Amino acid sequence: MRSQLVKSILVAATAVALLTTGWLCHAAEKMSERELIRDPDFRRGFTVLQPEPGKRVPYGIVRGHETTAVPVWDLDQWSSKHPLALTAAEALADGSLCYSNLAKTVTLGAAGSERGDLGMAVRASAEYGSRARKSGEPWVHLLVEQNIANPPSLAELSAACLHVEARLMASEKRSTPDYSPGLHAAQFQIFFSVQNLNRQSPGYGKYLWFGIPIYDDRHRVVPSHKARDTGGTSMFIYTPSGDVFSAKSAHDREWITIDKDLLPLMREGLEYAWRRDFLKESQALADYRIAGMNIGWELPGTFDVDLEIRRLSLRASCVNSNPHSP
C-alpha cells in the first residue's frame, strides 16, 4: 500500500556533506563515497505538514536537539484527524524530546540514550474510533520524508548501501466488528523514489517506488509486492520480500539490522517495471537517480503501534571521479 503522495520529488541544489558514520556494505567500493541522507539522526527536527494527502502544506516546525538548524525532513500525517500542535517538546528523563497528542507520538532520542534516534507511534484507535476504515476511504499515515540533494545517477553508482536498525515497541489490534485483514493492516516501511531527472527525457519526472518492508502485522516475513500504486501516484511499486534485507523479524520486538546494497535491487526493480510497460519512455540508467525517501507508518487498520529506528545511512559509491555531477 502507498500513500496518496502526488507531489513531485525533485532534487535540491545543495551539496551533501561527507559523513563518517562507518556503516558500510562490505561490497562497496571505497572511491567517491558520500552519504546521501541529510540529517540521518534527525537532530534538526521537522517541517510539519497539514494532513491533507497529496499536498505539501507546511504549517510550522517542531524543533530537534539542534534548535537553530533548519529541518530537512518533512513530517507527514496524511488523513489524520489529530495533527500535531506546534508546542515545545516534552523533555524526557534521558534527554530525549517528545511531541505527542491523542493520536500520535514522535520521539527524538538523546545521544547516548537507549532509545532509537526516531520513535514513531500512532494510536489509530483514536483516528478511526469505533469502526474500521471502509474500502475506498483514505487511511492514516505518519511518515518522515526528504528529497535527496544532488544524487548521482544509477549509471554512476557502484553501490548504494543502506544501513538502518529498527525495533517494534508495540502493535495492538483494536478489534472492530468490520475488521478484515485484506483491508486493515499496520505497516512500517522505507520507500525511495528512483526518478527520471533528465529534463531532456520524455519520461522526465516519472519514478519507481522502491520499498524496504520493516513490519507488517499480517506476516513475520513480509512478502514482496510488485504492482502499480493505486493509492494516488499511479507509479510502479517494487518491494522485495523482507528476508532479502534481514533474517530477523520485527515481530520479535528486538532490534533488527538492515545492511544492504540497494543498487542491484533498484536496477532489478526498473527492469521489472519496464517489462510491465511502466517507465518505458526511458530505459537508460543514466536518467534515473535516487531522488527522495520516506519512512514510517501506513495504518489502514485500527492498530496502536510504536517503532523506533536508529543509525540510518545511505552511502553512495560512484565509479566516476565526480559523484556530484548533475
Whether 18 is in a domain gets the answer no
Whether 213 is in a domain gets the answer yes
Strand blocks (E) in the chain = 33-35, 46-49, 58-62, 73-76, 90-91, 97-100, 104-108, 118-123, 140-147, 157-173, 187-196, 207-216, 225-228, 236-239, 256-261, 288-299, 303-318
On the CB side of 297, CA atoms within 13 Å amount to 36
Whether 20 is in a domain gets the answer no
List the chain pLDDT tens, one digit each, 326 residues. 444 443 433 333 233 322 333 333 444 444 589 999 999 999 999 999 999 987 899 999 999 999 999 999 999 999 999 999 999 999 999 999 999 999 999 999 999 889 999 999 999 999 998 788 888 888 999 999 999 999 999 999 999 999 999 999 999 998 777 777 777 899 999 999 999 999 999 999 999 999 999 999 999 999 999 999 987 789 999 999 999 999 999 999 999 999 999 999 999 999 999 999 999 999 999 999 999 999 999 999 999 999 999 999 999 999 864 444 43
Whether 5 is in a domain gets the answer no
Whether 27 is in a domain gets the answer no
Whether 11 is in a domain gets the answer no
Q: Are the C-beta atoms of 159 and 313 separated by less than 8 Å?
A: no
Q: Are the C-beta atoms of 115 and 308 separated by less than 8 Å?
A: yes
Whether 21 is in a domain gets the answer no
Expressed as residue numbers, the domain containing 281 is 33-318
Whether 7 is in a domain gets the answer no
Count of domains observed in the chain: 1
CATH number of the domain encompassing residue 309: 2.60.120
- Residue type, position 212, single letter: I
The contacts of residue 162 (CB under 8 Å, 6+ apart) are 190, 212, 258, 259, 260, 261, 262, 313, 314
Question: Within the chain, how many helices (H) and strands (E) appear?
Answer: 2, 17
